[in-house]
Amino acid sequence: MDRLLLNMQELVPWRQYPLLNSCEGKMSRDRALRKQQQLNNLVAAVKKLAKPGDMIVDFCSGGGHVGIVLAHMMPSCQVVLIENKELSLMRAKDRSDELGLSNISFIQANLDYFNGTFNIGVALHACGVATDMVIEHCIKARAAFVISPCCYGFIQNTMKFKYPRSHQFKEILSYKEHMILCRFADQTAVHLPPERKLIGKQCMGLVDLDRAWAAEECNYSVQVTSMEPESCSPKNNMFVGTPV
């Protein structure tokens, strides 16, 4: 991915955009800046994939920081926010109404229950197994995806998802070894010693490589990159996947 594109500070016109200003009192200035930087990365990736008329789904949308920005920046696309918390969706709708957006809709549902066709799936810091759930939804719909994972330490086998995900990793790692890898991948907090954070970053890369290879086994082309600047989040990995 074009490194210069990801570093463009004017990609989203934040000074004219009231979304993060509505978080005043709830989000510090530093955290708001990091959120803007994260969104710059996701918006840049989605803009490279989107075509007029595309349906974009923002999974685990929370208060709508991602979906509302996408709807604002790409008025020719339809954006759907999927979130299971009613209060978060209400806040998102209020922000959407403030901007007068007409190309956005809201669905209150768990990821398990979502079933629909769309062109691009997006998720910012989908927690643990939720990242793999979003990838599965996108593969089922043959949709492109832009996803930033989070909470690697919460990854564990479920009824639907078994780890490791890819055939290559299954040949060399047991489930227990993969879980150890996931626990170390969560050791990236800013207060940790540099050498420990480096190990955590390397383990993040391996966990996400396993996910990328699993998607490629389903005829996807997947790039694992990093959001810029690195300081925007300790969990700054980002997948960009497209069906082949």
- For 156, 171, 198, the CA distances from 44, given in Å and listed in that order, are 31, 36, 27
Please give the tally of structural domains in the chain: 1
Query: Does 30 have pLDDT greater than 90?
Result: no
- pLDDT tens per residue, range 195-223: 999 999 999 999 999 999 999 999 999 99
Q: What is the pLDDT of residue 112?
A: 83
Q: Is the residue at 204 inside a domain?
A: no
Judged by average pLDDT, the poorest of 1-10, 21-30, 135-144, 218-227 is 1-10
Find out whether 111 and 82 touch, Cβ atoms under 8 Å: yes
CATH of the domain at 25: 3.40.50.150
Q: What is the pLDDT of residue 99?
A: 87
Query: Does 108 have pLDDT greater than 80?
Result: yes
Q: Omega into 13 within 30° of 0, i.e. cis?
A: no
Query: Does 72 have pLDDT greater than 80?
Result: yes
Q: What is the pLDDT of residue 26?
A: 65
Query: Does 66 have pLDDT greater than 50?
Result: yes
Q: What is the pLDDT of residue 114?
A: 86
Query: Does 77 have pLDDT greater than 80?
Result: yes
- pLDDT tens per residue, range 119-145: 999 999 999 999 999 999 999 999 999
Residues of the chain with pLDDT > 90, as a percent, come to: 69
| Chain centre distance of CA 102 | 23
Farthest-apart Cα atoms in the chain, separation: 52
> At 215, which helix (H) or strand (E)?
helix 194-216
Q: Is the residue at 200 inside a domain?
A: no
Q: Is the residue at 17 inside a domain?
A: yes
Q: Is the residue at 173 inside a domain?
A: no
Q: How many CB atoms neighbour CB 128 within 10 A?
A: 19
Which residue range forms the structural domain that includes residue 36? 1-152+221-243
pLDDT band at 24 (very low <50, low <70, confident <90, very high): very low
Q: Determine the angle formed by the axes of helices 129-141 and 194-216, rounding to 10 degrees.
A: 30
Q: Is the residue at 90 inside a domain?
A: yes
Q: Is the residue at 195 inside a domain?
A: no
Q: Is the residue at 122 inside a domain?
A: yes
Q: What sign does the CA torsion over 82, 88, 94, 98 have?
A: negative
Query: Does 61 have pLDDT greater than 50?
Result: yes
* Interatomic CA distance for residues 235 and 190, integer angstroms: 10
pLDDT band at 32 (very low <50, low <70, confident <90, very high): confident
Q: Is the residue at 238 inside a domain?
A: yes
* Interatomic CA distance for residues 134 and 126, integer angstroms: 8
Q: What is the pLDDT of residue 5?
A: 41
Which is more confident, 111 or 11?
A: 111
Query: Does 56 have pLDDT greater than 80?
Result: yes
Calculate the average pLDDT of the chain: 89
